[in-house]
Amino acid sequence: MAMRIILIGPPGSGKGTQATSIREKHPIAHISTGDILRENVRAGTELGQTAKRFMDAGQLVHDNLIIAMMRARLAEDDAQNGFILDGFPRNVSQADALSSLLDGMSLRLDAAVLLEISDETVVRRLTCRRVCSSCGSIYNALSHPPKARGVCDSCGGRVVQRADDQESVIRNRLAVYHKETAPLVEYYESRGMLRRVPADGESNAALKYLESLRASGK
Ligand code: AMP
């Protein structure tokens, strides 16, 4: 299945987890702008230094930086067989930029998958989220803690709470989502590309949905 999809959903709707389950079945690139930015912060690049204060405050990083980053990323070899975009586009001007980038490559998006979840479920989930500071593996302090406290099961790295997973920052990220990103629902719906998937259940709901679409030939 040549798949070019974007995942839309508030922080904590499980975009990364759903993308991983799709990626396990289909060899396409999983491109998370949040992950690329965090790698830049860790590596201390100029982009990382600029992005960090916006990220820590739960604000969006400037469109021109993000779009340049995505132009370069989509040109890489592993993105040529398809991709899942996780965390991009984040507003209408990024969606327009993506559309022109893809037009320039003679490619088109197959679907925009909306992960639907309530704000309160997001807050409950994210305050419990823990991540490995080395490999990015995701844990939950209550339902899926690492076997040894604070130590990643996969790589032995340090498992921490992201600075932007504190409740006050989460509330801010949700407000940014409703103001900036939620208009993408109408944007992709009016183009006939929106697919709604409940995000409070299985971690492979998006994969199952995409496979059912393929099976029905839609
Ligand atoms: P995420 O891991 O997707 O929740 O992203 C973490 C943070 O990175 C966000 O709160 C933003 O500060 C920044 N970020 C990620 N993707 C974008 C984007 N497409 N546009 C602007 N900022 C972004």
Q: What is the mean pLDDT of residues 5-9?
A: 96
Domains of the chain (ranges; CATH) run: 3-28+81-118+179-216 (3.40.50.300)
Query: What would the two tokens of residue 82 be?
Result: 């398809």
Ligand 1 atom nearest 58 alpha carbon: 10
When the pLDDT of each residue in the chain is averaged and rounded to a whole number, the result is: 92
Please indicate, yes or no, whether the overall pTM of this predicted structure exceeds 0.85.
yes
Pocket of ligand 1 (CB under 6 A): 11, 33-34, 37, 54-55, 58-61, 66, 87-88, 90, 94, 164, 173
CA of 35 to the centre of ligand 1 (A): 9
Give the whole-angstrom CA distance, residue 120 versus residue 17: 19
pLDDT over threshold 70, residue 151: yes
The model's pLDDT over 43-77, given as tens digits with 9 standing for 90+, comes to: 999 999 999 999 998 899 999 999 999 999 999 99
Predicted local distance difference test score (pLDDT) of residue 208: 84
